[in-house]
Structure 1
Amino acid sequence: MQASIRLVKPSLDYRDEYISFYEEWKRSGENIVPWVVEREPYDFPSMIEFLYSQDSEEKIMNENWVPHSTYWLLNEADSIVAAVNIRHKLNQKLINNGGHIGYGVRPSQRRKGYASLLLSLALLQTKTMELSRVLVVCDKGNTGSERTIIKNGGKFESEFTEENGNVVRRFWIELE
């Protein structure tokens, strides 16, 4: 029996599936989002440990970081199709151009509705963190991501220009 599409916490149980997810993204040559997926997973226990290493305030060792949690989106066949990193609070950098939620869908699984579902499920997780509203950002010109954010209740606030000239569009989502 196949399971439904769902968010799961990273686990050693998904090693082969996660490495496939990572390697597909690397082969694509695209920027990997969220940032935690950039980490090489070949020492999988270390990678899992890394993903849990800063998931609470007491674990933060660098004052420039905030607590964050990572989840993987599994499809009906238990394949990892996307990842999301949720920041529990914001610092100035995240206010400018990072937001509370960073997410990405593996290249072969795009345009299938996974991004919208992933963001919707991530928003449910932020409610458990007692956030009343969350900031979600995307690069200007990333119309797919912008539509996903708006579909999930995002209200455009402003744009932020990064040092390299990249323009980030900032959206707030009110949680009910």
Structure 2
Amino acid sequence: MGSVRLVEPSLAYREAYTNFYEDWMTEGIDAIVPWVVEQDPRDFEAYLAFLRAADSEEKLKDDAFVPHSTYWLINEDEEVVGAVNIRHRLNQKLLESGGHIGYGIRPSRRGRGYASVQLAEALKITKAMGIDRVLLVCDHDNEASERTIRGAGGVPDSPFTTEKGEVLKRFWIDGRE
């Protein structure tokens, strides 16, 4: 893996992001993460507006949401290989089953270390935001995500079982370090 970086979504990455999105769609994966990737980007300008529509308290229109910011992981080939959604604070639902950071690597680029780099970069952003303790959540059987979280300093907390019976593992990372 060469040089990678997190960037704010922009028109400059339209084609790279469309390829990223199509990679997810062709894999037929049930759970696309983070959740913002599920949104169809065909109207790319509208998609970018959607991503920016709740990036501050002042923009929130729905009490069920918290302010959140999205970033894309760009590799040395200028591909979008990952996406991360950072929640600026937690509500009850995020405390139980979502966490501060949701991240995903496109299916065709997994197993190459991108997730670890993406999480490390996202933790720099949460630290700059002043988030002292960062919560991350993964499915109980997602061993790759658990390894990534533990590798970043994640300390296990009590699991959470959803209404559907899905068990989620929860981890805290000290954001002050």
State whether TM-score is above 0.5.
yes
Amino acid at match of 2:22: E
Amino acid at match of 2:5: R
Amino acid at match of 2:52: Y
Residues 129-168 of structure 1 correspond to what in structure 2 (within 5 A)? 129-168=129-168
| 1:10 and 2:9 are equivalent in the alignment | yes
Aligned partners of 1:151, 1:4: CA distance in 2, in Å? 20
| 1:100 and 2:100 are equivalent in the alignment | yes
Residues 77-116 of structure 1 correspond to what in structure 2 (within 5 A)? 77-116=77-116
TM-score by length of 1: 0.97
Amino acid at match of 2:42: Y
TM-score by length of 2: 0.97
- Percent of aligned pairs sharing the same letter: 57
Amino acid at match of 2:20: F
Amino acid at match of 1:17: A
Aligned partners of 2:134, 2:3: CA distance in 1, in Å? 26
Aligned partners of 2:171, 2:127: CA distance in 1, in Å? 17
**Equivalent residue for 1:54?**
54
Q: Residue 157 of structure 2 aligns to a residue in which SS?
A: strand
Deviations 1:68-126 (A, max 9, x none): 00000000111000000000000000000000000000001000000011000000000
Compute the displacement of 1:128 (Å): 1.2
| 1:25 and 2:24 are equivalent in the alignment | yes
Amino acid at match of 1:157: D
Aligned partners of 2:56, 2:85: CA distance in 1, in Å? 13
Amino acid at match of 2:122: A
Q: Residue 102 of structure 1 aligns to a residue in which SS?
A: strand
Segments of 5+ residues of structure 2 without an aligned counterpart are none
Aligned partners of 2:45, 2:76: CA distance in 1, in Å? 25
Q: Residue 61 of structure 1 aligns to a residue in which SS?
A: coil
What's the C-alpha RMSD, in Å, of the aligned pairs? Answer: 0.8
Aligned partners of 2:83, 2:64: CA distance in 1, in Å? 23
Amino acid at match of 1:41: P
Segments of 5+ residues of structure 1 without an aligned counterpart are none
Task: Give the paired residue count.
Answer: 174
**Equivalent residue for 1:172?**
172
